[in-house]
Structure 1
Amino acid sequence: MRKRVMYLFACAAPPVVYVDRAVRDAQARGWEVCLGLTPTAREWLADRLEELEELTGHPVRSSYRAYGEPETWPRTDVVVVAPATLHTVNACALGITSTFVVGFTAEAMGKRIPLVMMPCLNSTYARHPQFGRSVEILRGAGAAGGVPVAPGAGRRRRGGGGVRRTGGGVRGRGPRRAGASEPGCAGAVRPARPGSRAAR
């Protein structure tokens, strides 16, 4: 039986330094994970790319394939964008496909591939008028996800954030701890086990 495949796309927000934990957590739940990074996130993790490729068994991708170049990743069953920065959230909503991560996410929406987006940005960015509009556009396109919490809010509460479940089939839990100087994140993405009701 083929393992179900997750494309995990990570942007340049502080939690990206722990992306290996997200990969291992998903793998423990039966998912095969392919990791994609925005260009800045790739710079942040430049000295760990070999380790991450060994962990996933696939190339870490940050750019589009060249014309005629064969696909190196298996077909995906779900796309998870976490952490997602203000830039990526807005670009996905507006269809500005200037990076591989945004381009494939836009393609996933068009193909109706289950999509989860977990914004991770500070409260100042969250008040930008385009952010709210982008979240509504993405929800209207069927994406599941969460909204950012205030910096440090993860220390004050454990419930409430989570991932809004849709028929797409990825579920989440409450907010993770966020340092007072770090952006607030909606919560850790916790994929359902393949074959479970939440994974359908």
Structure 2
Amino acid sequence: MTRRVLYLIACAAGPTQYVDAGIRQAQRAGWDTCLVLTPSAARWWEPRLPELVELTGHPVRSHYKLPTEPDVLPSADAMLIAPLSCTSLNKWAAGIADTLAIGLVSEGVHLGVPVVAMPCFNQAQAAQPAVPRSVQTLRAQGVRVLLGPDGYEPRPPKQGDPAAYPWDRAVAALPALP
């Protein structure tokens, strides 16, 4: 039986330091997990990227490929963008796909791929007027945005705990495997 493929897409937010925990959580749930990082998040993991390649069994992507290069990842059956930074949330909702990470989910949701997003930003960032508009825009497109009691709840600045990011909630929100 072929396992279904999940693209775990992580932005440069504190919990990305622990994205390996999110990968393991998805793998325990039965997903063949491919990792895509924003360019900034890839810089955080640069010295340890081989560790993530070994864990997933796939190359870790962070940039668009050249037109002459082959696709190195299998097609996604679902996408989870977690942690989703405030910047990437607002760019995605505005249709700005200037990174592979945002390009994949921007296109995927309109190709019928189930997309779940769990943000991670503080209360000051969440207070920006663009944030609720962006969440509403993505939800209207069919994205399941986990913001609030059933997902991620923003905390005061400098009071978050990146190691306690609720990867289990994010993975549990994915479509059920057959």
TM-score normalised by length of structure 1? 0.79
What is the Cα-based RMSD across aligned positions, in Å?
Answer: 2.7
Instruction: Please list, as runs of the form range in 1=range in 2, the aligned pairs for 1:82-97 lying within 5 A after superposition.
Output: 82-97=82-97
Structure 1 outlier segments of 4+, above 2 Å: 177-194, 197-200
Q: How many aligned positions are there?
A: 176
Instruction: Please list, as runs of the form range in 1=range in 2, the aligned pairs for 1:45-194 lying within 5 A after superposition.
Output: 45-147=45-147, 161-163=149-151, 181-182=159-160, 187-188=166-167, 189-192=169-172
Paired amino acid for 2:150 = G
Answer 1 or 2: which has greater helix percent: 2
Report if aligned partners of 2:122, 2:156 keep a CA contact under 8 Å in 1. Answer: no
Please identify, of 180-189 and 97-106, the stretch whose mean Cα deviation from structure 2 is larger. Answer: 180-189
Paired amino acid for 2:59 = P
The C-alpha deviation readout for 1:68-112, integer Å capped at 9, x for no partner, is: 211100111100000000111011111101000011110112102
Change (3 A) 1:44 1:70: same
Q: Distance in 2 between matches of 1:95 and 1:27?
A: 30
The answer as to 2:37 corresponding to 1:37 is yes
Q: How far off is 1:192 after superposition?
A: 4.7
The answer as to 2:14 corresponding to 1:14 is yes
Report if aligned partners of 1:31, 1:193 keep a CA contact under 8 Å in 2. Answer: no
Q: Distance in 2 between matches of 1:132 and 1:37?
A: 24
Q: Which one scores higher on RCO, CA 8 angstroms, separation ≥ 6?
A: 2
Q: Distance in 2 between matches of 1:124 and 1:112?
A: 33
Q: Distance in 2 between matches of 1:114 and 1:45?
A: 27
Report if aligned partners of 1:192, 1:199 keep a CA contact under 8 Å in 2. Answer: no
Q: Distance in 1 between matches of 2:18 and 2:2?
A: 27
Q: Distance in 1 between matches of 2:94 and 2:146?
A: 19
Paired amino acid for 2:50 = E
Gaps of 5+ in 2: none
Q: Distance in 2 between matches of 1:122 and 1:55?
A: 30
Q: Distance in 2 between matches of 1:13 and 1:36?
A: 14
Paired amino acid for 1:198 = A
Q: Distance in 1 between matches of 2:36 and 2:29?
A: 20
Q: Distance in 2 between matches of 1:186 and 1:25?
A: 12
Counterpart secondary structure, 1:60: coil
Identity of matched residues, %: 39
Change (3 A) 1:93 1:118: same
Report if aligned partners of 1:162, 1:186 keep a CA contact under 8 Å in 2. Answer: no
Gaps of 5+ in 1: 149-160, 164-173
Paired amino acid for 1:38 = T
